Structure 1
Amino acid sequence: MNVALWIVTGLLAAVYLAGGVFKMAVPRAKIAAAGRSGRWVEDFGAGAVKAIGAVEVLAAVGLVLPAVLDIAPVFVPLAAVGLVLLMAGAAAVRARRREYGLVVVDAVYVLLAAFVVWGRLGPESFLN
């Protein structure tokens, strides 16, 4: 179970680190032009898109660094809770925009982050 949690955590961290850096570095108009998965930025200002990117980067760091350094590892499940909330919001935006195929992708991310929350607060808790 611990290995599965580390794999999922590592994958989530990599995806959110890359996505967050992308959102912070690339102009909003270029993200919107990137294809159907980037059109959500039309509903947000440039500052909000950058802020979402910053939250994703912080979540990616919070998923891995506290456990690796063994400094306040309770932040790992808290970062995962943050991702659950972030992706639930993303799914709501996509549903409002009638992008139902992407809602499914967002739901998968919610489930993966929820798995980390459950595992790190339950059977493989860092709090013991």
Structure 2
Amino acid sequence: MQSANIVPSVVRPAGRGLNIGLWMAQIVLALMFGLAGVMKTTQPIAELAQKLVWPGAVPPGLVRFIGTAEFLGALGLVLPSVTRVRPRLTPLAAAGLVTVMALASVFHLMRGEFNAIAFNLVLGSAAAFVAWGRYRQAPLAPRGS
């Protein structure tokens, strides 16, 4: 009995517009999360509490942890893609930032800070776009491939 010919699905390369959109999202998100991360890891908690309010309501270690996660996520959005060294880390970094924004939304919802939730949803959606795009639609090949 002969096996049936199975035609592999054709993988189309991602369009230029999608790649440009992904790079723009990666850069903007990296700047925003990078700056927020540096701010949360370096500024005194009292100063942060005056600007953002919520850092005064949680343990300082949690504020520093969130800042570190945001900063590392920002690096992960750009460095693996630019250097082409393990570019599969980019969608993972983006997914991590989606998680950070989802948790932030729940936190702000519990505190009744609805204006902050909209900001979290916008950033989380943009990070989800990068995670989806760099994982499924326009993955970047590692250097030397």
Give the TM-score, by structure 1 length.
Answer: 0.93
Report the Cα offset of residue 64 of structure 1: 0.4
Task: State whether structure 2 residue 19 is matched by structure 1 residue 15.
Answer: no
Question: How many Å separate the matches in 1 of 2:107 and 2:85?
Answer: 35
Q: Point out the structure with max Rg over C-alpha.
A: 2
Q: Equivalent of 1:116, from 130, 139, 143? A: 130
Question: How many Å separate the matches in 2 of 1:67 and 1:107?
Answer: 24
Residue matched to 2:6: none
Two-structure CA RMSD over aligned residues (Å): 1.2
Matched letter for residue 44 of structure 1? V
Question: How many Å separate the matches in 2 of 1:88 and 1:127?
Answer: 29
Residue matched to 1:89: 103
Residue matched to 1:5: 22
- Residues paired across the two proteins, number: 125
Determine what percentage of the aligned residue pairs are the same residue: 37
Structure 1 stretches of 4+ moved >4 Å: none
User: Residue by residue, what CA displacement relative to the aligned partner does 1:64-86 show, whole Å, maximum 9, x if unpaired?
Assistant: 00111111000000000000000
Moved more, 41-50 or 77-86: 41-50
SS at match of 1:14: helix
Matched letter for residue 76 of structure 1? T
Task: State whether structure 2 residue 82 is matched by structure 1 residue 65.
Answer: no
SS at match of 2:97: helix
Could you list the runs of 5+ residues in structure 1 that have no partner in the other structure? none
Give the TM-score, by structure 2 length.
Answer: 0.83
